[in-house]
């Protein structure tokens, strides 16, 4: 089976195994993975991956006594177009205050500067959130992610951008700061990050408050990895969250 066929088969399998992950909360997870702070790195042409994750909150709806929930599957590929360019589509289903929501976030990432050890990687990203429940485009987000690997074991990621919430007709500054610390061979990685939106009021007020996550990744081989992540207010509705994530990767073919 060819790499593209394997990629498609795994994406279909992920949707079949996790039937609730078919469709996106408009409030978070626009990075296309369980971690919210993007890196400035764009993969080589031909590289593909599928991110899947499920997040469980301790926050319950008083009427239904059901916990908030967030789940997603996000296929991503770097395209051979002559410059660093990635496309992805994140399908998500979530439950907030007892109400279910589903949608999709198509996203692009354009590599602007390819760095090295001690030199920054810079990209430009854009995403549109479409809510299947309302049948409307609910948010637009453009951002500039920057990453610097200070030493082989340590990488700093920073994001700044513009977010337009069409449902509330409000503009925000989106931001994020993350740190990745990995072991030799990249078998284990610890990630801590803070992210959110600012410079405008929000409803609920917690949506404009900082959001935090810390996670541990186990990657015994390049092709796949598993993460356990603890987060606070990650959807902007308060509460503490625990996330389980898995990534399946297909490396670019070498000539």
* Residue 242 located in a structural domain: yes
pTM for this predicted structure: 0.85
Per the document, the length of the chain is 255
pLDDT at 31: 65
- Stretch 222-229: mean pLDDT: 97
85 domain residue, yes or no: yes
Mean pLDDT of the residues in the chain: 87
- Strands 99-113, 240-250: parallel, antiparallel or unpaired by DSSP? unpaired
Distance from the Cα of residue 204 to its chain's centroid:
22
Dihedral pair phi/psi, residue 28, rounded to 5°: -165, -175
Sign of CA pseudo-dihedral 29, 31, 34, 39 = negative
Nearest 5°: CA angle at 116, between 113 and 121?
30
In a domain, 194, yes or no: yes
Is residue 198, in this structure, part of any structural domain at all?
yes
Q: Tell me: pLDDT of 30 over 90.
A: no
Number of domains in the chain: 1
Whether residue 36 is contained in a domain is answered as yes
Strand 121-131 to 136-151 pairing = antiparallel
Q: What percent of the chain has pLDDT over 70?
A: 87
Report the CATH number that the domain containing residue 121 is assigned in CATH: 2.40.160.40
Domain membership flag for residue 16: yes
Is the residue at 255 inside a domain? no
The answer to whether 131 and 100 have CB atoms below 8 angstroms apart is no
- Pairing verdict, β 154-165 and 224-232: unpaired
Mean pLDDT of 141-158: 97
In this prediction, residues 223-245 reach a mean pLDDT of 92
Range of the domain at 74: 3-250
| In a domain? residue 190 | yes
């Amino acid at each position: 089976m060819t790499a593209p066929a394997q990629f498609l088969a795994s994406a279909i399998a992920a949707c079949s195994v996790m039937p609730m992950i078919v469709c996106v909360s408009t409030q978070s997870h626009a990075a296309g993975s369980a971690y919210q702070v993007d890196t400035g790195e764009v993969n080589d042409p031909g590289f593909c991956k599928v991110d899947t994750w499920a997040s469980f909150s301790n926050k319950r709806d008083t009427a239904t006594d059901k916990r908030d929930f967030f789940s997603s599957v996000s296929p991503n590929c770097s395209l051979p177009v002559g410059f660093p360019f990635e496309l992805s589509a994140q399908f998500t289903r979530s439950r907030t205050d007892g109400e279910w929501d589903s949608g999709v976030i198509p996203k692009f990432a354009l590599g602007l500067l390819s760095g090295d050890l001690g030199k920054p990687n810079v990209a430009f990203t854009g995403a549109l959130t479409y809510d299947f429940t309302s049948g409307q485009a609910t948010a637009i987000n453009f951002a500039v992610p920057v990453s610097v690997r200070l030493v082989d074991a340590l990488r700093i990621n920073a994001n700044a951008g513009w977010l337009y919430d069409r449902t509330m007709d409000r503009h925000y500054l989106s931001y994020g700061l993350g740190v990745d610390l990995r072991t030799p061979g990249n078998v284990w990685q610890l990630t801590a990050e803070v992210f959110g939106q600012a410079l405008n009021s929000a409803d609920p007020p917690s949506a404009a408050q900082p959001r935090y996550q810390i996670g541990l990744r186990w990657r015994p081989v390049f092709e796949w990895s598993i993460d356990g992540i603890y987060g606070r207010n990650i959807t902007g509705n308060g509460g503490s969250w625990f996330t389980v994530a898995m990534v399946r990767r297909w490396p670019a073919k070498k000539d």
